[in-house]
Structure 1
């Protein structure tokens, strides 16, 4: 089916207006470099990070250390042993030198050859200037990323490659724009909305091409985003959530007091729903167009009803996806809270669990509402083609 010129113009104007509002919003909320907290004052001058490799380990009870190295990765389990390792530095001006470092149980388990990251604090009065910082994870993460990219490109081909480019653009927006803007105290909800809109405009058209079908999915995505933002903000307020429920959030409040953590929670809800919202709307738009191609005599109402049967199945499976995704991310919190002897109602209404419930429910509502919105919009676009007396030729995807 060929979309009438008037409909294409109406869709293009709508997207252009949204894009213009997004660009203006990004300009107004842009990070300027002012107001960002200076965390350098909290770090010792001249601190450097070095990479090293364990060449020998001497087991040692964690309690024997003056400063328990297990605290860098959490309390050591009962019976776990820390160690005193000889580490050969593998980068920097000190490459090839060997130093003594106390390491936690997880590094001890890796044994000889374990790649470590060391912290060197110059001018230390007592003890070695070298301390254990973390394990090196760059190589396995790089290999996993390469494998992911190869699988996507081999299976999805050019469309998969374009989706990877879109993913890179999304990462650039989050790291280069959203995070600096948030750290400068810009409105988290406003920054989250304009960033999400910019990401969706680029990603959808890049991955699926410029067409009425893609535009329909994009507008459905915007409807879902608006619903998610509104419901998320209302739920956070009504549930009396402050956003200060974990150690990281508390540390962020201390380091960057200009950030509104309650609104930051809503911003996180918006971002969390982006990917799956995109999946639902593009799939639903495609379902409407494909149904029309298979049965061009269906009226818009019949087309909507048929497509919603597919949409309901998609909603049912996607709800499980959303819930289990959040449950998996919050599993440690769930286990810790389950150890506390409290009524189930009190556990579920604790700050940590309440945040996950709000994320799940607000994101789920926006996701569900996006399906009928996208379906109705796609049916209206197809109706415009029928009304203009267009044939049922293949629609450009």
Structure 2
């Protein structure tokens, strides 16, 4: 493993080829072990459950259309429902006319109804591009139902803006980070998600997949160097700890992984799934981004401090880096809490509207899952800081001998 770093200004210190080769061998061994594990766990396409698409059966298809008019009408929706019924919003419904833009009926007029929930919320208006479920009627004509919006252009535009800004501001490092995102998406789509669907241990799949992803993205985004390797060691510790704590916390808190209709539908589609294991696996995957950020920052901090304090002992270097790490811990923990709170915002609003007590809210299945995920991720994050710092101090360039002047050693600044 070369000790040079082609994408950053940090001084790597004097050449240490023996250490670089040793670390290269260790990382290569980890990478090979991860590759073998992925090969053993790699899901067969025949074992991945595939439910029948309800919108792709015989005589049923999905088409795109442009809304041309909406006419409200009273559909008797009061918002009051029985306990087994699906809640709706009180208000009017709407008859909608649209021009079909794809499929066999291109150019024809499609008529469908919007329920009170979609109409009152104002989500559909004239000129919108929508997706409709098109189904054949006995007389050869077509009937239509609203399915969703066409979001291809805005999503593509946002992705392009993001990629351009990352490339312009981050330059080569930004470009390699984009490649890392691609590697992550490919790993998730081809290994992690199909592997879990086949009924294998979700936590094992998540750990193996996360390890492979981190090895690839760290060296892609930050270059092959001893400094990056120290960040990798800290990251792997964080993954291992989060996995262990996630498994214990999930079982201890009796989290079932069945807190929504989507969870129940997933289990009905793939009965072999280990739903509790999926909760623990999600803790590993969800914390990767912040964990990577913290470990890379700590490793960089140690190298910068070593360049500024060439005579500082290992313990002094560790203490200086931990002062930076403590600030980073505080901001990163907030990041985790805000991220999970945002993802569960709808559930929290609904529970608040039901006027349930704080303890009742926090211990409910929906929120408790997010609480445990946040706490496990935060604990792993906090512990990764001193561990990464220790690895970085151990692997950073050694302290230099202090020069002597007039027969005495130069006094080191107190804060060195």
TM-score computed with the length of structure 1 as normaliser: 0.90
Return 25-34 or 228-237, whichever deviates more. 25-34
SS at match of 1:33: coil
SS at match of 1:83: strand
Match of 1:327 in 2: 341
Match of 1:162 in 2: 176
Displacement after TM superposition at 1:228 (Å): 0.6
Match of 2:126 in 1: 112
Displacement after TM superposition at 1:258 (Å): 0.8
Are positions 1:340 and 2:354 aligned together? Answer: yes
Match of 2:9 in 1: none
Contact persistence 1:52–1:115 (CA under 8 A): yes
- Within a 5 Å distance, the mapping from 1:235-384 to structure 2 comes to 235-382=249-396
Displacement after TM superposition at 1:37 (Å): 2.1
Calculate the aligned-residue CA RMSD, in Å.
2.2
Match of 2:114 in 1: 103
Displacement after TM superposition at 1:177 (Å): 1.6
Are positions 1:175 and 2:186 aligned together? Answer: no
Are positions 1:40 and 2:52 aligned together? Answer: yes
The 2-side partners of 1:115 and 1:41 are apart by 22
Contact persistence 2:192–2:209 (CA under 8 A): yes
Match of 2:248 in 1: 234
Match of 1:21 in 2: 33
Match of 1:58 in 2: 71
Displacement after TM superposition at 1:353 (Å): 1.0
The 2-side partners of 1:334 and 1:112 are apart by 32
Are positions 1:82 and 2:93 aligned together? Answer: yes
Cα offsets for 1:308-347 (capped at 9, x unmatched): 0000000011111111111111111111112334432222
The 2-side partners of 1:127 and 1:337 are apart by 45
Match of 1:2 in 2: 14
| CA distance 1:317–1:113, change in 2 (3 Å) | same
TM-score computed with the length of structure 2 as normaliser: 0.86
The 2-side partners of 1:191 and 1:377 are apart by 26
The 1-side partners of 2:175 and 2:74 are apart by 51
Cα offsets for 1:80-106 (capped at 9, x unmatched): x32111110112232111111112454
Match of 1:68 in 2: none
The 2-side partners of 1:2 and 1:124 are apart by 80
SS at match of 1:34: coil
Match of 1:93 in 2: 104
- Which residue among 205, 224, 243 is the counterpart of 1:210? 224
| CA distance 1:62–1:137, change in 2 (3 Å) | farther
Match of 1:220 in 2: 234
| CA distance 1:116–1:75, change in 2 (3 Å) | farther
| CA distance 1:85–1:343, change in 2 (3 Å) | closer
The 1-side partners of 2:39 and 2:183 are apart by 18
The 2-side partners of 1:127 and 1:343 are apart by 54
Q: Which is higher, the Rg of structure 1 or of structure 2?
A: 2
The 2-side partners of 1:15 and 1:313 are apart by 30
SS at match of 1:165: helix
- Consecutive unaligned residues in structure 2, runs of 5 or more: 1-12, 78-85, 402-416
In proportion to residue count, which structure has more helix? 1
Contact persistence 2:313–2:399 (CA under 8 A): no
| CA distance 1:8–1:96, change in 2 (3 Å) | same
- Consecutive unaligned residues in structure 1, runs of 5 or more: 65-73, 388-397
SS at match of 1:31: coil
Displacement after TM superposition at 1:22 (Å): 0.9
Displacement after TM superposition at 1:123 (Å): 4.9
Aligned length: 378
SS at match of 1:39: coil
Displacement after TM superposition at 1:284 (Å): 0.6
